[in-house]
Amino acid sequence: MRKIDPNNFTLAKRGTSREINRQIALTLIRTHQPVSRADLSRLMETNRANITFLVNELLEEELVREGAQGNQKVRGRKPTFLYLNSQNSRAIAVDVRASRTYLMVTDSIGKQTGDIVSFQTVFDPEKFAEELSRQIVNILGGGLAGCDGIGIVIPGMVDPKTGIVVRAPALGWRHVNLLKALEARLKGIPIQLENSGKACALSQIWSTRGDGLNHGDIVFVSVSDGLGIGVVINGELVRGRHNSAGEFGHVPLSIDGPLCSCGANGCWEAYISNPATLSRYFGRNVSGRKPKALEVADFTIEDLIVRARGGDSKALTALHSTARYLGLGLATIINALDPWRIYIGGEITEAWDLIEPEVRDAIKERTLTGELGETPLKIVPAVEYPRLRGAVALVTAPAFAAPKVA
């Protein structure tokens, strides 16, 4: 039961019904391809005539293409299969991280078509825009032709409407108008910016593969130098009034706990970020500082996991502590939002077999009911590139999204 906002509604025009059904058809072709018109009419519970009109429109727009005829075991005319047409044009996904920036070319429906390339992130915004533009032109083969759009994912607070990076501590940016800087160099190509935690959440609901079909509200928790979290409710990203919804990383475990980089004490992030785990291993209270502040600057969380697997009991203990705190924080998310499932990304997932029981126990310790304690956790390994896939979704998803209505 949704309330209509009397200050921001969308009237149904003559073409609204068609637009709605068109998007439903497109969504079903996406999730069920290969699929025939007759299949669609059954899926949509409407007559085949309507489907003919809808599909003709999609064919004309070259969003959909006809493929080979299907083979049925039953008698009757063979169906003509429909597919999403991905050959039209391309999208660029960009993942900006403190260390390096990653780029990927995909077809128009988000399937990777080339290698992932990367370059060292430049911290001066203008120089970064310059270098990124050069890399984009390069990865596209020398020009901007046939590029549908660019999706860029930033480790920080972003205003997608204005394209301004409001705050990105990892990059040292405050109020950087990255969109403007890029538009000046990549004229005419639509550019979308988004926070990386939110983009990771998008990557899950818009993924065509596997169990990515959304059956309910989801939360994506990415554990890295900091915590990046995205929340999807009713199929829509929760952005909040100032685009800063989802900062569960700064929910306290103990208001008197270790100092967090945000200035407050005892944030979840200060317990489970990679630097926090590392400093626990080294027995120092440096969770508030960056890893480079450690003497062993190039000792990473991956190294720690290797040591834990190798029998280093101190390393295992550090991981188990992180696991427990991870679970306690996840319990907060579960109590607060009761999501259908939670996706977990980040380097720590490589140790999932070592830490899962502790995580689950901690969740059960603080969730209100037994059912909540069983909320599914899904690991998203780094090889699935959730941030890049989220960046892709920024470009490709609008073509499939529900029209705004009422």
172 half-sphere exposure, CB direction, 13 A CA radius: 8
Q: Of 249, 307, 319, nearest to 277 (Cα)?
A: 319
- Determine if 60 is a binding residue for DNA (CB under 7 A): no
254 binds, among DNA, a copy of itself, none (CB under 5 to 8 A by kind): a copy of itself
The interface with DNA within residues 32-51 (CB under 7 A) comprises 36-39, 46-51
Stretch that binds a copy of itself, among 103-111, 112-120, 298-306, 331-339 (CB under 8 A): 331-339
The two tokens of residue 337 are: 């939002």
Radius of gyration for the alpha carbons in the chain, expressed in angstroms and rounded: 23
* Number of shown-chain residues binding DNA (CB under 7 A): 33
Give SS3 for 369.
Answer: coil
Site for a copy of itself, residues 220 to 259, rule: CB under 8 A: 233-248, 250-257
Which one-letter DSSP state was computed for residue 213?
S
Instruction: List the one residue from 7, 60, 76, 175 that touches DNA (CB under 7 A).
Output: 76
Applying CB under 8 A, does 365 fall inside the site for a copy of itself? yes
Residue 336, contacted partner among a copy of itself, DNA, none, CB below 5-8 A by kind: a copy of itself
Q: In the β-sheet with 80-84, what is the strand arrangement from edge to edge? A: 35-36, 80-84, 64-69
Q: Residue 304 in contact with residue 277, Cβ under 8 Å?
A: yes
Binding mask 35-74 toward a copy of itself (x if CB under 8 A, else -) reads ---------xxx----------------------------
If binding is defined by CB under 8 A, does position 107 make contact with a copy of itself? no
Least Å from the CB of residue 182 to a copy of itself:
21
339 binds a copy of itself (CB under 8 A): yes
Minimum Å gap between C-beta 387 and a copy of itself is 18
Query: Closest separation between CB of residue 114 and a copy of itself, Å?
Result: 26
Cα angle 120, 126, 127; round to 5: 35
Q: Count the alpha carbons within 13 Å of 247 in the hemisphere toward its beta carbon.
A: 15
Which of 2, 14, 215, 241 lies at the binding interface for DNA (CB under 7 A)? 14
* Residue 93 Cβ vs a copy of itself, minimum distance, rounded to whole Å: 17
CA-to-CA separations, 26 to 38, 113, 116, 209, 241, in angstroms, rounded: 14, 22, 28, 16, 31
Complete DSSP assignment for 60-127: HTTSEEEEEEP--SSSSPPPEEEEE---S-EEEEEEE-SSEEEEEEEETTS-B-S--EEEEPPSSHHH
Q: Which stretch binds DNA (CB under 7 A): 53-61, 154-162, 253-261, 374-382?
A: 53-61
Taking CB under 7 A as the criterion, the residue among 10, 53, 100, 369 binding DNA is 53
Binder of residue 37, out of a copy of itself, DNA, none (CB less than 5 to 8 A by kind): DNA
Contact call for residue 103 and a copy of itself (CB under 8 A): no
Which residue, 382, 373, 273, is CA-closest to 325? 273
> Rule CB under 7 A: is residue 69 a binding residue for DNA?
yes
Summarize as ranges the residues that interact with DNA (CB under 7 A).
11-15, 17-18, 21, 36-39, 46-56, 69, 72-80
